Amino acid sequence: MSTAAFIITAWVCIGLELGLKDAIALGPNSIAPSFVYCLLTFLAMFSGAPRPTWIAVALGLLMDLTARVPLQDGLGTATLIGPHVLAYVLSVQLITSLRGVVIKRNPLTVGFLAMLGSLVAQVMLVAIYSFRLWWGDAIMAGGGSPSGELVARITSAPYTGLLGVALAFAFFPLSGWLGLAAQSRKR
């Protein structure tokens, strides 16, 4: 896989995540798809081990660096390293396990795997924030009750799946430029 092409694609996707995600959010409960997760799904489907895990680490780190977690008592915001990395690494294991039994060259497959992976990632994120609150960390994730937004986060997963189907039509033509086509032919 071309590292330069990956960096440029990740840069555009995180730009879409920060600039466009709230515009396509449904209702007031932050039900929104993830552009970055769709990219992760696509790359994980076509990269050889252990590259999908490295990509999950890189994209998770990028998400952690650009997320702002409010602190309790109005003490500002914090940048937390780790939650998205762990969630993405765990969920990408599911994608790499399932990619052998699906028809890879189908946009619906990208959507399906993005939905499943996103579901795992969101549940993992809620678990991490809940654990931090349990031992008394001063974060205000999910208004102080991360489990309260579990439904909204789970509902975001099918939405990410839908976006994955749409983005697959852009990602497949880019696979040659990303250096994925040769790899997928080799295997």
Partner 1 sequence: MISPTFTSRLLPTVIAVCALLALATPVRWQSWARPLGQLATAVIAPVSHPFAALSRWIAPADDSPAQTERVRELESRLEEAQRELERVRFENRRLVLSLEELNVMAVVNTSPVRQVYAPIFASSSDLSSRIVRARAGRSQGVEVNSIATAAGLQLLGRVVAVDAFTCDILPFNAKSAESINAIIIIKGSDGGLSCRLTPVGNGSLKGPVHDRRDPTNALALVPEVGQLVRLSDGRWPSVAQMMLVGRVVAVESSPDGPLRQIVTVSPTVERIERVAEVVIRTNATSPDVSEKDSPKAGPGVGGPR
Nearest distance from residue 141's CB to partner 1, in Å? 7
Look up residue 59 and give its two tokens: 């994209």
Q: What are phi and psi of 78, to 5 degrees?
A: -135, 155
10 versus 116: smaller Cβ distance to partner 1: 10
**Smallest gap from residue 106 Cβ to partner 1 (A):** 28
State the nearest-atom distance from the C-beta of 37 to partner 1, in Å: 11
Q: Which of 56, 23, 17, 29 is nearest to 153 (CA)?
A: 29
> Can you give 111-125 as a three-state secondary structure string?
HHHHHHHHHHHHHHH
> Applying CB under 8 A, which residues contact partner 1?
11-12, 14-25, 27-30, 32, 36, 50, 53-54, 57, 60-71, 73-74, 76-86, 89, 125, 128, 131-132, 137-144, 148-149, 152-153
Give the sign of the dihedral formed by CA 58, CA 62, CA 63, CA 65. Answer: positive
